[in-house]
Amino acid sequence: MVRGRKLTGGKYRPRRKTKHYEREGITRKVKIRETKKKLKRGRGGNVKTILLSEKIVNVMDPTTKKAKKVEIKNVLETPSNRFLARQNILVKSGIIETELGKAKITNRPSQEGSVQAVLLKDN
């Protein structure tokens, strides 16, 4: 069966064009560099802070229940895409190397304007 065709051979045609609010946005990749942010106007005049690059992370230590600002050294692994780890791109659930040890990113840095992480126990 040829994709995009009916059983009779006729073409499937879209009912309508995509509307402006249905379009996909630009994928922003947060790199490890000096902090660089951008403001984006959202729907209804809301303002969203977009992070373009960051080198500091707020790390939460689960044993002491205290947070500390530390510098990011490297991205060790990214479960969603291994190529993002090679390019040192910060994404949610990515494991990073910090001054305190390994940490897991718990938020979405490209959409929230900061990087939050939880310190992992070394086995």
pLDDT per residue as tens digits for the range 49-62: 999 999 999 999 99
CATH of the domain at 66: 3.10.290.70
CA distance 73 to 54: 11
Residue 86 maps to a domain:
yes
CA distance 23 to 65: 41
pLDDT per residue as tens digits for the range 3-30: 678 999 899 888 899 998 899 888 889 9
User: What's the pLDDT band for 42 if we cut at 50, 70, 90?
Assistant: confident
User: What's the pLDDT band for 1 if we cut at 50, 70, 90?
Assistant: very low
pLDDT recorded at residue 27: 87
How many domains, in total, are found in the chain? Answer: 1
Residue 32 maps to a domain:
yes
Residue 7 maps to a domain:
no
Residue 29 maps to a domain:
yes
What is the full DSSP assignment across 54-113? --EEEEEETTTTEEEEEEEEEEEE-SS-HHHHHTTEE-TT-EEEESSSEEEE-S-HHHHS
Tokens 């000096």: give the residue.
34
